[in-house]
């Protein structure tokens, strides 16, 4: 049995095809990870396979019906079962996704993503799910996507590289921008060969072999870059 499992429910299963590529694809092929994408409409029973209706109280757009979602949850994670997934619902009204949340999700045995579309899912769905599983509503940022599918791709890419045994080089994840090991600063710019390229030179200090000076330079570059681009990260 794989160490970790991910289920994704969506009305656009083909949107999630990129999950089988690259890093995640290799983890799936090695049998470490199970990833299954499910069509929400398979839990409808009317001829039109309806998943939405007009909002109570009025307003624009359509709201996803709670019932097909509840059937999906009950099928994938039966209420009587003691093993329950962590339910992730991408939504612009969720808490903001961070590297810290990615690290937390990477430790979970079982993630279940519910991709909403239109104006979102009937709010009673998360109340219902919350009776037996931890529910996390997550936003990628202060903008509105058409649905949760692309958000799941982003979240899973950030999570997968932190899953135990998925990334080949664990050290490179630890040194990334936004992780604690770099004090919450942006990473310094990086260079590779050749030392002179189209008239542009690699900073001299990086060719010096002097590890102390290199570390000082990187630190100073990190602080400078962070001050310029993300002053909010320096507050406090």
Confirm or reject binding of residue 1 to ligand ADE (CB under 6 A).
no
User: Closest Cα partner for 26 from 148, 153, 163?
Assistant: 163
Cα three-residue angle 45-38-28, rounded to 5 degrees = 160
Please report whether residue 68 would count as binding ligand ADE according to CB under 6 A: no
Q: Is 119 known to be catalytic?
A: yes
- Between the alpha carbon of residue 188 and those of residues 114, 198, 203, 217, 226, the distances in Å are 36, 22, 12, 9, 9
* Catalytic residue flag (residue 161): yes
Q: Which residue is nearest to ligand ADE (CB)?
A: 90
Part of the chain binding ligand ADE (CB under 6 A), chosen from 5-13, 52-60, 139-147, 212-220: 139-147
DSSP class of 10: E
The Cα–Cα gap between 120 and 150 comes to 15
Shortest Cβ 155–ligand ADE spacing (Å)? 8
Q: Which of 2, 55, 92, 203 is catalytic?
A: 92
- The residue written with tokens 């037996």 in the block is 132
Which range, of 61-69, 72-80, 136-144, 159-167, touches ligand ADE by CB under 6 A? 136-144
151 binding ligand ADE? (CB under 6 A): yes
Spell out, one character per residue from 77 to 116, where the chain touches ligand ADE: x when CB under 6 A holds, - when not.
-------------xxx------------------------
* Tokens of residue 221, six digits: 């570059």
- DSSP letter at 121 equals B
Cα 17 to Cα 13: distance, rounded to the nearest angstrom: 8
Q: How far is the CB of 202 from ligand ADE (least distance, A)?
A: 38
Q: What is the contact surface with ligand ADE in residues (CB under 6 A)?
A: 90-92, 139-141, 143-145, 148, 151
């Amino acid at each position: 049995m794989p160490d970790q499992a991910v289920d994704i429910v969506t009305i656009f299963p083909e949107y999630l095809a990129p999950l089988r590529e690259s890093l995640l694809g290799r983890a799936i092929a090695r049998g470490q990870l199970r990833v299954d994408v499910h069509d929400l409409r398979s839990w409808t029973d009317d001829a039109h396979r309806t998943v939405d209706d007009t909002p109570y109280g009025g307003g624009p757009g359509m709201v996803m019906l709670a019932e097909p979602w509840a059937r999906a949850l009950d099928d994938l994670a039966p209420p009587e079962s003691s093993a329950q997934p962590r339910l992730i619902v991408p939504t612009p009204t969720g808490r903001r996704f961070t590297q810290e949340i990615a690290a937390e999700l990477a430790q979970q045995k079982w993630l279940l993503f519910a991709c909403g579309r239109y104006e979102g899912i009937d709010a009673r769905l998360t109340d219902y799910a919350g009776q037996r599983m931890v529910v996390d509503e997550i936003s990628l940022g202060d903008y509105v996507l058409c649905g949760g599918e692309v958000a799941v791709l982003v979240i899973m890419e950030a999570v997968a590289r932190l899953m135990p045994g998925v990334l080949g080089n664990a050290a490179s994840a630890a040194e990334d921008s936004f992780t604690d090991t770099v004090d919450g600063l942006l990473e310094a710019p990086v260079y590779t060969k050749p030392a002179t390229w189209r008239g542009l030179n690699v900073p001299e200090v990086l060719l010096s072999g002097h590890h102390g000076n290199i570390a000082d330079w990187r630190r100073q570059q990190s602080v400078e870059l962070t001050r310029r681009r993300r002053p909010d990260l320096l507050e406090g």
